[in-house]
Structure 1
Amino acid sequence: MSNFNLSPLFRTSVGFDRILDMMGDLTERQPASYPPYNIEMLAENKYQITMAIAGFSRENIDIQQEQNSLIVTGKLPCENVAKERKFLHKGIAERAFKQEFQLEDHVKVTGAELEHGLLYINLMREIPEAMKPRKIAIGSQDQGYSQTKVVDKKMA
């Protein structure tokens, strides 16, 4: 018997939590490790992606939603400045990045905020009314829904 690790799929997918609970995927994907991020489920249809992007300003970040993909790109204003500096220890990654997240159908970005080096991207799953489950009322014979069965019996 084999065990399948689905955690790599949860790292870059938003809104697929129900589908991934029901099915297994045999492929392993290695998500990008920079910049680090969290995907949090705030409510049944509300999600938030938090990315640690210290050193980036609003002008250097681009967020785009293309169909079922959310693409976050960060570009440094001038990479040559870092080359001119002399570091004794360099532990802060100062590099451009591109992170792509796969979104489930009907998941939309509702906003983004940059605060204290953390980028918060808010998402909402908005299922159209036509696709939502609906309750069907069960009628009774009093409401005119009765069907009369006539059975002919022949007596011998």
Structure 2
Amino acid sequence: MRTYDLTPFYRSTVGFDRLFNLLDQTTSDGSPGYPPYNIERTGENSYRITVAVSGFSKDELSIVAKENTLTIKGEKVANENSKSEVLYRGIAARAFERAFQLADFVQVKDASLENGLLHVDLVREIPEAKKPRQIAINASAQATQVIEGEKAAA
């Protein structure tokens, strides 16, 4: 894999730190494949992130939305009271952290855990001030009168 050094751009630009951080994150191989997830579009302005978190309870998961980043963390609590001895551990119970970059005006609407799947519903709510608006075109009656008046005087 190729590696790119973005250091010269950091020195010569102002305000593009977030962009370069995103580029660094996408080119790195440090993002694990656990747990698997889906991103679905459920409507014109609504989305759903589904993360496979089998074996985790609601208390062992946390969802944090900060600025334009959604972070889902899972940490298994060790069960000290169990009297049995595990001979083979094939079910993954490792801690994880999965971060998603959200677009502007995307908010977390709801989160639910069912059948080992964590569903996080998102909605894009654009403020009225940012929505496009239709501008009416007014025809000026004075401009046509002046032109007609000039024709009569000539």
Same fold (TM over 0.5): yes
| Counterpart position of 1:40 | 40
Alignment partner of 1:131 is 2:130: yes
Q: Within 5 Å, which residues of 2 pair with 1:7-156?
A: 28-30=27-29, 31-78=31-78, 84-87=85-88, 90-141=89-140, 144=141, 146=143, 148=146
Do 1:139 and 1:145's aligned partners in 2 also have CA atoms closer than 8 Å? no
Q: Greater relative contact order (Cα 8 A, min sep 6): structure 1 or 2?
A: 1
What is the identity, as a one-letter code, of the residue corresponding to 2:87?
Answer: K
C-alpha displacement at 1:44, in angstroms? 1.7
Higher helix share: 2
TM-score (norm 2): 0.69
What is the identity, as a one-letter code, of the residue corresponding to 1:59?
Answer: D
2: CA distance between counterparts of 1:146 and 1:29?
63
Structure 1 alignment gaps of length 5 or more: 1-24
2: CA distance between counterparts of 1:63 and 1:105?
18
C-alpha displacement at 1:151, in angstroms? 6.7
2: CA distance between counterparts of 1:76 and 1:112?
19
1: CA distance between counterparts of 2:143 and 2:54?
70
Report % sequence identity.
43
Q: How many residues align?
A: 123
Cα-Cα RMSD:
2.7
C-alpha displacement at 1:43, in angstroms? 1.2
C-alpha displacement at 1:39, in angstroms? 0.5
C-alpha displacement at 1:62, in angstroms? 0.4
What is the identity, as a one-letter code, of the residue corresponding to 2:76?
Answer: L
1: CA distance between counterparts of 2:107 and 2:55?
27
Structure 1 runs of 4+ with >2 Å offset: 25-32, 144-152
C-alpha displacement at 1:145, in angstroms? 6.8
